[in-house]
Amino acid sequence: MDKEPEELVYIKVTASKLLISCSVDTHENYLSRYAYFSLAQLMYYDTEYDFEDYYWPDFFDQKTGESKYLMIHKSKDNLHVSSKVRYKGFYKPKKQLPVISQNSVPLRKAVPCIQEQPPKETHVILGFCLADSNNEWYRTNHYPFLVPYTGILNKAKTEVRSFTIYVLNETKLPEIDLTDEQQKLVEICFDMSKIALVASPAYKDEASKLAEKREQNQYNFNKLFELWQKALPLLSGRLYTHYSYTYGMRNVKGKPRRSCMVACSFSSETPEICFLWKDMGDYYKLELRVRLSGKIHQIQYYYNTAFFAMLFYNPRRYALLNSVIDSELLVFFQKSQFQLLVLKKHYDDDFKEFVDRLRTGYGFIDK
């Protein structure tokens, strides 16, 4: 009602509870209509709602009620809270962190490069494309896999002028002589395509079915990584390799779209994950980096391709990671531009255990 006095609704989010109160009526057994309608407005038509955006324990000054770490935007219908750009990646107590195995994986040695030469008597080539997609967005999403394609070179044979078709089975192979290495790589590609599709949750899936799909997806993910390791010695150094963001498996068919095919290369070296640890006064900063060719590099965070690290200054050169755990770490840190911050009052407990495990398996540079 227009003539009603304004009342205040208070919301506090903890690691396990949602606390709500109001300036009138609300107590432990009763929710005022103001509190009820505030919650209904936040949730809109959803039956579930994630209140994590309002979970910022100890981030506000108790005296002023303000925060140097957060941006707070009030609109007519809502309240938006997010970290400032420079403070992106703050850890919140009890938030799930990646599980770090106690058994470290030995660093894979650099593989020899293929010394591929342009064909002498034809302009038709067999190339290989890293087919990539975001496995959370689309019904036909998939993990990154390698798919052969046929194409026609330009007159100078320096680049692919046009793309003919994705080679999804042996009947689509071009009528050219393939080397033993090409034939082996094609077979690996076919094995990849059989397990690359992600099993997505379906409407009204029961918990047991969801668990089954998650288990199958993880198995396929691990198997794909093994196949990428087998493919790398047959792939690194090839002249005709491309990257394509497919927007789902449904588009990996027929003729590749030239506008989506981006020339790329595959490093023969293995990126070694390492961390920078900085004391920033009232918080710590943990930054993920990779060591490649004896130097420490920043990683490109605009692209997130599982299994690979892409250096900031050369995002189209793909370096195959050393292990599945490395891949999971990159996916986790990529969400916050490869930095993780923690208030010192939140450091002891889960976060300290996480850092201690990282220190046992990865290089640390304390600054």
The alpha carbon dihedral of 87, 89, 95, 101 has a sign of negative
- The CA distance from 154 to 162, in Å, is 8
| 203 DSSP assignment | T
Say how many CA atoms lie within 13 Å of 88 toward its Cβ.
10
Write down the residue that tokens 């990126």 correspond to. 271
* Residue 365 confidence (pLDDT): 95
- The CA distance from 99 to 189, in Å, is 30
Instruction: Extract the tokens encoding 333.
Output: 């840190």
* Residue 136 confidence (pLDDT): 67
* Residue 90 confidence (pLDDT): 96
User: Other C-beta atoms within 10 Å of 111: how many?
Assistant: 19
Write down the residue that tokens 């209904």 correspond to. 40
Q: Angle between the 180-195 and 207-235 helix axes, to the nearest 10 degrees?
A: 170
For the chain, list residues with pLDDT below 70: 1-2, 45, 77, 135-138
- The CA distance from 124 to 238, in Å, is 15
Residues constituting the chain? 367
Q: What is the pLDDT of residues 30-76, one digit of tens each?
A: 888 888 888 888 887 677 888 888 999 999 988 888 899 999 887 77
* Residue 39 confidence (pLDDT): 86
